[in-house]
Structure 1
Amino acid sequence: MSQRPYKDSSGRTLADYPRPSVAVDTAVLTVDAHHRLVVLEVRRPTSTGWVLPGTFLHEGETLADAVDRSLRLKANVRGLHPRQLHVFDDPHRDERGWVLSVAHVDVVRLEQLESRLADATRLVPVDAPGRLPWGHRGIIERAVDHVRADYLDKPDPAGLLGDHFTLRDLRLVHEAIAGKALQRDTFRRTMEPHLDATGSTTIRGRGRPAELFRRSG
């Protein structure tokens, strides 16, 4: 027996309502060699300028699959696992039509991106992303706020430094995320309860040996 189409209390089916297109856009953040927080952008294929990696959701596709497809095909980046950040639903955000963007964010090590950068991709400081369409600057700002909140009182939760690091290395990463210098003593007091000493040291340049730490737990 065929199933009747769903109708709501007004007698309308789902097809009777206008529906927006759904897009995914991803802010992939990292800290570059100059200790700046930067974001990955891709060149627009049909126009001049740059955008975040993104795509429209295909029929039967999950959001996570669409994100993965956009990063692979538009940025040549694989193996990331961005998390959902926010739904941008301003009906006028996109001049192409009514488009909802489910924004995602990921923070990765620089080496996960450097070897894959090509003419159609670039890393730019988050505070100078260029003239971006479709509200992408707002997505970057939201992503940066989200990551900064994660880094307020936890030592490098995204693992940009690897397993072992000095307090100076840790502070430089946190300063890059925060976008400002951090008071050294205050930073140390905040982070030390979440760190374990490894019992090892490292020597860089002509300075004294620096103690190596790892995250507690």
Structure 2
Amino acid sequence: MHQHIRVTVDAVIFGYNSRDGLSVLLIKRTIPPYIFKWALPGGFAHNDEPLEDCVKRELRSETGIQINYLEQLYTFGAPERDPRGRVLSVAYFGLVRPTALSTPPKPVINSSFLNKTSDDREARWCKLNELPQLAFDHNMIIEKALVRLRNKVRYEPIGFELLDSKFPISELEKLYELLLSRPIDRRNFQKKLNSLGILIAHEEKQKAALQGRPAKLFSFNEQEYSKLRDEGVYFEI
């Protein structure tokens, strides 16, 4: 039996800040199908290209965004998902720091990585609770990525990848309350983090707010966490 199946990659890139909550990186298509519809960054894989290289290439060319964290999510292969024919999408999800949200993403038009058949020339961040109807099955892909993110932050400290390299504890607490969709016991939360030794305290403090005193800043001790993981001690919220 003759098969003609093509493979694409799509990337769900999450960003976070305390004002907007979670945001997702989108691009606008300029060719059919779904012309002028918003979609996830992505595209067809080259014959000789590893899939992770493909998704990084597409992100560079379509948005110019540098990501901190990337992992494969799921393969979407419903026969009717793409009107161009039988197209599988290997989806990834990634995380970026708040500085990426403060700089509008821009396609790298002159990049040597640019696929000349790329159909995307506009990119923006969209709040997760304000998503439009997207092209293909991309709303479903985002839902799948969100479930993975919310589950994974319970047992692996990937939430730190959504924060600035230095952050106040209050910002970390807000992020976890958002991702877990429930209040957390702040005293026990900080006590658990301190007991693991995965926070580095800095003398530097957050810039003074309109109310209250400047908060002390911390950073994630990735080296200490790697050592704990090798010893069989795991992060769990």
The answer to whether the superposition gives a TM-score over 0.5 is yes
TM-score (normalised: structure 2): 0.72
Match 2:201 to one of 188, 198, 202:
198
Q: Give the letter aligned to residue 161 of structure 2.
A: G
Name the SS of the counterpart of 1:69 in structure 2: helix
SS at match of 1:60: coil
- Cα pair 1:37 1:179 within 8 Å, conserved: no
Aligned residues with identical type, % of pairs: 29
Max Rg structure: 1
Aligned to 2:53: 65
Q: Which has the higher helix share?
A: 2
Which secondary structure does the structure 2 equivalent of 1:30 belong to? strand
Q: Is the 8 A contact 1:156 1:174 kept in 2?
A: no
Cα deviations across residues 161-210 of structure 1 (Å, max 9, x unaligned)? 34443221211222343355444345335544334462636363342453
Residues 80, 56 of structure 1: alpha-carbon distance in 2 compared, 3 angstrom cutoff: farther
* Alignment-derived partner of residue 227 in structure 2: none
Q: Does 1:174 align with 2:191?
A: no
Of 111-120 and 126-135, deviating more is 111-120
Structure 2 matches for 1:158-169, cutoff 5 A?
A: 158-169=160-171
Which consecutive residues of structure 1, in runs of 5 or more, have no partner in the other structure? 1-15
Counterpart-to-counterpart distance in 1, 2:158 and 2:8 = 30
Alpha-carbon distance in structure 2 between the residues aligned to 1:152 and 1:115? 29
- Superposed CA offset, 1:107-158 (max 9, x none): 0113235424258112112243210122111111111111112222555544
Distance in 2 (CA, whole Å) between partners of 1:76 and 1:215 is 26
Question: Residues 67 and 88 (structure 1 numbering): CA distance in 2 closer, same or farther, change over 3 Å?
Answer: same
Q: Which amino acid aligns with 2:72?
A: Q
Q: 1:188 to 1:35 in 2, by over 3 A?
A: farther
CA distance in 1, matches of 2:96, 2:134: 22
The answer as to 2:26 corresponding to 1:28 is no
Q: Relative to 1, partners in 2 of residues 1:137 and 1:186: Cα closer, same or farther, differing over 3 Å?
A: farther
C-alpha distance in 1, partners of 2:193/2:158? Answer: 10
Which of 208, 211, 215 does residue 210 from structure 1 map onto? Answer: 215
Structure 1 stretch displaced more, 45-54 or 61-70: 61-70
Instruction: Say if 1:68 and 1:80, in contact at 8 Å, map to a contact too.
Output: no
Matched with 2:2 is 17
Total equivalences in the alignment:
202
TM (norm. structure 1) is: 0.78
For residues 153 and 184 of structure 1, the distance between their equivalents in structure 2, rounded to whole angstroms, comes to 18
**Equivalent in 92, 105, 111 of residue 117 of structure 1:** 105
- In structure 2, runs of 5+ residues without a counterpart are 107-120, 225-237
